[in-house]
Amino acid sequence: MSKLIFEKNLKGSNSFTLPPADIPEVDITSSIPASFLRETAPALPDISEVEAVRHFVDLSHRAYGVDNGFYPLGSCTMKYSPKINEWAARLPGFTSIHPYQSVETVQGAMELLYNMQNMLAEITGMDAVTLQPAAGAHGEMTGVMIIKAYHQGRNDQGRTKMMVPDSAHGTNPATANVVGYDVVEVKSNRRGLVDLEDLKSKMSPEIAGLMLTNPNTLGLFEEEIQDIAAVVHDGGGLLYYDGANLNAVMGISRPGDMGFDVVHLNLHKTFSTPHGGGGPGSGPVGVKSYLADYLPVPMVDKKDDKYIFVYDRPLSIGKVKNFYGNFGVIVKAYAYILALGAEGIKDAAQQAVLNANYLRQHLKKDYHIPFDRLCKHEFVATAKRQVDENGVITLDIAKRLTDYGFHPPTVYFPLIVKEALMIEPTETETRERLDDFLQAMASIAEEARNHPEIVTNAPHNAVITRVDEVTAARKPVVKWEDDS
Amino acid sequence: MKYTPNSPAIVEDMLRSAGFNSLDELFSDVPEAIRLDRKLKLGPGRSEIELTRELKGLAAKNLNTEDYPCFLGAGAYDHYIPAAIDQLLLRSEFYTAYTPYQAEINQGILQSIFEYQSMICMLTGMDVANASMYDGGSALAEACVLACANSKGKKVLLPDTVHPEYQQILQTYAISGKMEIVIVPSTAGVCDLEKMISLIDEDTACVVIQQPNFFGHLEEVEKLADAVHRNKGFLVMAVDPISLAILKPPADVGADIVVGEGQALGNSLSFGGPYLGFFAATKKFLRRLPGRIVGQTTDTEGRRAFVLTLQAREQHIRREKANSNICSNQALNALAATMYLTLIGSTGLQAIAVRCHQLAVYAARELEKAGLKLKYKAPFFREFAVLLDDPARANRRLLENGIIGGYELEDAMLLAFTEKRTGAEIDQLVAVLGGEA
Ligand SMILES: Cc1ncc(COP(=O)(O)O)c(C=O)c1O
């Protein structure tokens, strides 16, 4: 069992030192009243550098990233993160600049932000882009705030509800709630797409807009998107694009041309910035011209060959984050877009869709595919056959996949499909890798038929077996306690 | 550059094997009218050599704090980052992983988050902490959302000594209609306790206080805590993690929710991000916190294991009933903070906090000797404002002398001191500013 850092404490082993002071080392009690001072130091670990380094290297051995292998985690676009991007974001001219330096001293960073705003506007077909939001959900919140500010600005006060499809990612309804909207759920039809009749019946003067992902969370393109847009717009609402799935269509079809008014992107999905084990991401938001005044402050603009921050924007929703966004992440995505160029961007989308369809075609031999037709960058399979035949469920298959060296797909999402396995291979996988995965899935299907216990007891090769989640939640232990 | 590995011949094979004749056919479900009938205006792809040239060129146009001593703070600090941190962050098992949904193959990441949560609790004295928020400002907004969701009232009271951007972010989040932000004018650079306490009533969900405040000064928190608690509201504190090495932990002064900007803990300035917001609270908020939480449990063989827990709070389960929509957070930045606190240790963190303070005290005295006056008299930690007729001009003169000056206030300059600064650099700063007196 691996020890916690606190259990590796060796008193006196930390040897961090500061340079000798060239100022008087006055006692802090002479300048800070005792009532403000703490009596005992925080009990941080006392550990040498070498043991600290070994600790984190050891932790890394028990983690799995895209660099370790195939990561078909649906909706997350776990593509390869090019190393040049990491190099770029680590240039001292980017890492060591303070956000409040005068703009004359950070013209390179401003130029990068300005170019990025424009490139993302071009890719999405929008007129103006903010880079401030820190992640997808944060972009959603920013975008929905803009929708709210827009209706308020027109004194259209009765719009208290936001429509969200039943296939939507959890952040969509949560965002609507966080911004103060009631949620109206729109049904999916038998083809897995927005049910246009249901949408029409729910559109009303109380509806502020519709949040949509296209392709949707089943990996299916909303073919009736123009009709959907017309229903929402004719009813006085706005159309919001959750850009988590843009990887499927970039360079091929733009949300702005589909009729969307507001878009957020996930640079940590579509634009290759690594997910960092949970973040940081970056969630830029693009809008059509009639919403541009509502974007957060500041915007980056160019005036007489000089890049400037524009704060004087009276209709702006304000700020959603300190400073200007996750700049270091933006640098990586910027390098990625430059590297690919127009053709590379389109190529990435095509290959992503090809890889997904290749897997779909070959997986259906062993697994139920509820919407078995042309998909975009991802598709949903299920464990229906395995459940019916031997009681092997999706979770079991996911765990067993790790024994074969693969990261499992997203499971039990979208909610409208039972026992869902949402598979997104991305464009950066070789056919060999995909074939290996298919082979593993086929083996698991066979095990499920003949030796189901192998699957239901998986994983067998991981550092631990399945965890007791119930106790974790019933009797939460969320920090280390010193019981020595 | 392309990062798609299949050759055209293989692509052809795959197309056929998947039942398609061409790449275009893969998009037959996209209506003609909304297909882009031209190339994106992005220019051609670049080779790595061109990329490095272009990016180096942009980076070179920025004056950076490696080359120029920097006295800017105001929410982002130029602290030293131990060399080991970046080396470790480059382990791609960490940085190319997603959120650790699958516990069995991500014990390393889950354990690191558990350690991070524990360290945040050690610094703040609070019972529980989450796995991180986007940054200090958005963490504060979420803290106020949490306070409002758990109280009858929706008034959020804060002095104008809270970071101006935090104030703005709160106002923005209040578009939800679920919070009412009341900003109370301060006196002499600190919260006007009497006025603040007189405004606390039954409709007050929380009082927000920043420690040290935006101007660097120390706020008297206990009386506010008592007053807001008497009215069944909560005390929300935004704190500087470095200061917690020497200042009373927020738990000891009555805080219910504690947030802060964690950048100072091993994360580079990076023009404002990515940083991390930390978020801690008393036990009773455990099942209501926003964001990811890692818990300790056991596997089927009884071994200690870690897992994302209490997920019933989160957007993917609660959907439109969730009080926060956060999904991805700032995990890698939180990992950097964990590495920082590990490598620096308690005594190291104390030494850093003390040095920052001593440098600030030295600078204040030297500036006063040079005939300048501090804007406010209250005790400070490592930041204070010095009165100047024309702070913008002073900053230009500092820059001419190879120094990145402070944050410009209307009639003053807010100066920050980290352990990277030296007495010699301060003497230079004073020499330039002294000429401005
Ligand atoms: C469809 C969809 N929308 C929104 C999000 C939220 O993005 P983030 O995690 O960056 O907040 C995700 C991420 O999982 C997603 O898949």
Closest CA to B23 of B39, B8, B41: B8
Whether B411 is covered by a domain: the verdict is yes
CA angle B180-B183-B188, nearest 5°? 165
Residue A342: which of B40, B60, B63 has the nearest Cβ? B40
Domain of residue B224: give its range.
84-338
CA of A218 to the centre of ligand 1 (A): 14
Residue A137: which of B128, B325, B339 has the nearest Cβ? B325
Protein residue closest via CA to atom 16 of ligand 1: A75
Residues B204, B138 within the same domain: yes
CA angle A412-B316-A280, nearest 5°? 110
Contacts of B270 (CB under 8 A, 6+ apart): A89, A94, A95, A97, A327, A328
Q: Which amino acid is at A275?
A: H
Backbone phi and psi for residue A320, each to the nearest 5 degrees, phi listed first: -110, -5
In sign, the C-alpha dihedral spanning B148, B151, B154, B158 is negative
Q: How far apart are CA A253 and CA A262, in angstroms?
A: 15
Residues B213, B312 within the same domain: yes
The second-level CATH assignment, the architecture, of A343-470 is Alpha-Beta Complex (3.90)
Q: What's the structural domain count of chain B?
A: 3
Residues B351, B305 within the same domain: no
Residue-level pLDDT, tens digit, chain B, 437 residues: 999 999 999 999 999 999 999 999 999 999 999 999 999 999 999 999 999 999 999 999 999 999 999 999 999 999 999 999 999 999 999 999 999 999 999 999 999 999 999 999 999 999 999 999 999 999 999 999 999 999 999 999 999 999 999 999 999 999 999 999 999 999 999 999 999 999 999 999 999 999 999 999 999 999 999 999 999 999 999 999 999 999 999 999 999 999 999 999 999 999 999 999 999 999 999 999 999 999 999 999 999 999 999 998 889 888 998 999 999 999 999 999 999 999 999 999 999 999 999 999 999 999 999 999 999 999 999 999 999 999 999 999 999 999 999 999 999 999 999 999 999 999 999 999 998 65
Q: How far apart are CA A249 and CA A349, in angstroms?
A: 6
Residues B305, B212 within the same domain: yes
List, as ranges, residues 298-317 from A with C-beta within 8 Å of B. 317
Pairing, β A379-382 against β A299-303: unpaired
Helix pair A107-124, B48-60: axis angle to 10 deg = 130
Question: Is residue B60 classed as helix, strand or coil in its secondary structure?
Answer: helix
Sheet holding B180-184, edge to edge: B128-129, B277-281, B257-261, B234-239, B204-211, B155-159, B180-184
Residues B331, B399 within the same domain: no
Q: Decide: B327 in ligand 1 pocket, CB within 6 A.
A: yes
Whether residue A416 lies within 8 A of chain B, CB to CB, comes out as: no
B56 burial type by CB count under 10 A (0-12 exposed, 13-18 middle, 19+ buried)? middle
Pairing, β B407-408 against β B412-416: antiparallel
Question: Is residue A426 classed as helix, strand or coil in its secondary structure?
Answer: coil
Cα B12 to Cα A354, A357, A359, A377, A424, distances in angstroms? 10, 13, 15, 18, 20
Nearest Cα of chain A lies from the Cα of B18 at a distance, in angstroms, of 5
Nearest Cα of chain B lies from the Cα of A221 at a distance, in angstroms, of 7
Chain B residue with the nearest C-alpha to that of A429: B5
Q: Decide: B328 in ligand 1 pocket, CB within 6 A.
A: yes
pLDDT for residue A20: 97
Measure the CA dihedral A54/A55/A61/A65, to 10°. Answer: -110
Q: Which residues of B309-320 are buried (b: 16+ CB within 10 A; e: fewer)?
A: bbbebbbbebbb
List, as ranges, residues 354-393 from A with C-beta within 8 Å of B. 354-355, 357-358, 360-362, 374, 376
Q: Which amino acid is at A380?
A: V
Residues B219, B361 within the same domain: no
| Contact criterion met (CB < 8 Å) for A108 and B359 | no
**CATH number for B89:** 3.40.640.10
| Contact criterion met (CB < 8 Å) for B309 and A176 | no
Pairing, β B277-281 against β B294-298: unpaired
Residues B159, B197 within the same domain: yes
Chain A residue with the nearest C-alpha to that of B212: A36
- For CATH 3.90.1150.10, the residue range(s) in chain A are 343-470
Q: Decide: B392 in ligand 1 pocket, CB within 6 A.
A: no
B interface test, pick of A464, A468, A469 with most B CB neighbours within 10 Å: A464
Atom of ligand 1 minimally distant from the CA of B99: 9
Q: Among A169, A321, A378, A424, which is best to mutate for testing ligand 1, by the most ligand atoms less than 8 A from CB?
A: A169
Whether residue B264 lies within 8 A of chain A, CB to CB, comes out as: no
- Written out in words, the top-level CATH class of the domain with range A84-339 is alpha beta
Residue A76: which of B98, B118, B135 has the nearest Cβ? B98
A388 burial type by CB count under 10 A (0-12 exposed, 13-18 middle, 19+ buried)? exposed
Whether residue A412 lies within 8 A of chain B, CB to CB, comes out as: no
Chain B residues in contact with A6 (beta carbon < 8 A): 115, 118
Whether B1 is covered by a domain: the verdict is no
Whether B20 is covered by a domain: the verdict is yes
Residue A84: which of B35, B48, B357 has the nearest Cβ? B48
Pairing, β B234-239 against β B257-261: parallel
| Contact criterion met (CB < 8 Å) for A170 and B321 | no
**CATH number for B405:** 3.90.1150.10
Q: How far apart are CA A151 and CA A162, in angstroms?
A: 12
Whether residue A147 lies within 8 A of chain B, CB to CB, comes out as: no
Backbone phi and psi for residue A303, each to the nearest 5 degrees, phi listed first: -135, 125
Whether B26 is covered by a domain: the verdict is yes
Residues B311, B407 within the same domain: no
CA of A241 to the centre of ligand 1 (A): 12
Pairing, β A128-130 against β A285-287: antiparallel
Cα B308 to Cα A134, B99, B216, distances in angstroms? 21, 9, 37
| Helices and strands: H and E segment counts in chain A | 15, 12
Pairing, β A238-243 against β B128-129: unpaired
Q: How far apart are CA B254 and CA B272, in angstroms?
A: 31
Q: Decide: A410 in ligand 1 pocket, CB within 6 A.
A: no
Q: Which amino acid is at A161?
A: K
Residues B98, B132 within the same domain: yes
Whether residue B332 lies within 8 A of chain A, CB to CB, comes out as: yes
Whether residue B60 lies within 8 A of chain A, CB to CB, comes out as: yes
Q: Point out the domain boundary residue: B311, B338, B365.
A: B338
Nearest Cα of chain B lies from the Cα of A284 at a distance, in angstroms, of 14
Residue-level pLDDT, tens digit, chain A, 484 residues: 589 999 999 999 999 999 999 999 999 999 999 999 999 999 999 999 999 999 999 999 999 999 999 999 999 999 999 999 999 999 999 999 999 999 999 999 999 999 999 999 999 999 999 999 999 999 999 999 999 999 999 999 999 999 999 999 999 999 999 999 999 999 999 999 999 999 999 999 999 999 999 999 999 999 999 999 999 999 999 999 999 999 999 999 999 999 999 999 999 999 999 999 999 999 999 999 999 999 999 999 999 999 999 999 999 999 999 999 999 999 999 999 999 999 999 999 999 999 999 999 999 999 999 999 999 999 999 999 999 999 999 999 999 999 999 999 999 999 999 999 999 999 999 999 999 999 999 999 999 999 999 999 999 999 999 999 999 999 999 999 987 6
Q: Decide: A363 in ligand 1 pocket, CB within 6 A.
A: no
Q: Which residues of A78-106 are buried (b: 16+ CB within 10 A; e: fewer)?
A: bbbbbebbbbbbbbebbbbbbbbbeeebb
- For CATH 3.40.640.10, the residue range(s) in chain A are 84-339
The maximal CA–CA distance of chain A, rounded, in angstroms, is 78
Residue B297: which of A84, A374, A471 has the nearest Cβ? A471
Q: How far apart are CA A449 and CA A391, in angstroms?
A: 10
Residues B281, B404 within the same domain: no
Residues B216, B362 within the same domain: no
Nearest Cα of chain A lies from the Cα of B153 at a distance, in angstroms, of 16
Contact between B140 and B238 under an 8 Å Cβ cutoff? The reply is yes
CA of B245 to the centre of ligand 1 (A): 36
Q: Decide: A242 in ligand 1 pocket, CB within 6 A.
A: yes
pTM (whole model) above 0.95: yes
A interface test, pick of B145, B221, B328 with most A CB neighbours within 10 Å: B328
Q: Decide: A422 in ligand 1 pocket, CB within 6 A.
A: no
Token pair of A463, please? 């550092």
Whether B92 is covered by a domain: the verdict is yes
Q: Point out the domain boundary residue: B305, B338, B371.
A: B338
Name residue, tokens 């206990």.
B222
Contact between B150 and B199 under an 8 Å Cβ cutoff? The reply is no
CA of A273 to the centre of ligand 1 (A): 14
Contact between A198 and A187 under an 8 Å Cβ cutoff? The reply is yes
CA of A135 to the centre of ligand 1 (A): 8
Token pair of A210, please? 């519709």
Residue A180: which of B118, B177, B424 has the nearest Cβ? B177
pLDDT for residue A484: 65
Q: How far apart are CA B316 and CA B331, in angstroms?
A: 18
Whether residue A338 lies within 8 A of chain B, CB to CB, comes out as: yes
- In this predicted complex, what is the ipTM? 0.98
List, as ranges, residues 222-261 from A with C-beta within 8 Å of B. 223, 225-226, 249, 251-254, 257-259
List, as ranges, residues 317-336 from A with C-beta within 8 Å of B. 317-329, 331, 334-335
Contact between A210 and A200 under an 8 Å Cβ cutoff? The reply is no
Atom of ligand 1 minimally distant from the CA of A242: 3
pLDDT for residue A52: 98
CA angle A103-B422-B359, nearest 5°? 95
Q: Decide: B10 in ligand 1 pocket, CB within 6 A.
A: no
Cα A457 to Cα A224, A372, A467, B29, B77, distances in angstroms? 44, 30, 12, 41, 49
Whether B57 is covered by a domain: the verdict is no
Residues B283, B397 within the same domain: no
Q: Point out the domain boundary residue: B338, B362, B389.
A: B338
| Helices and strands: H and E segment counts in chain B | 13, 12
Chain B residues in contact with A416 (beta carbon < 8 A): none
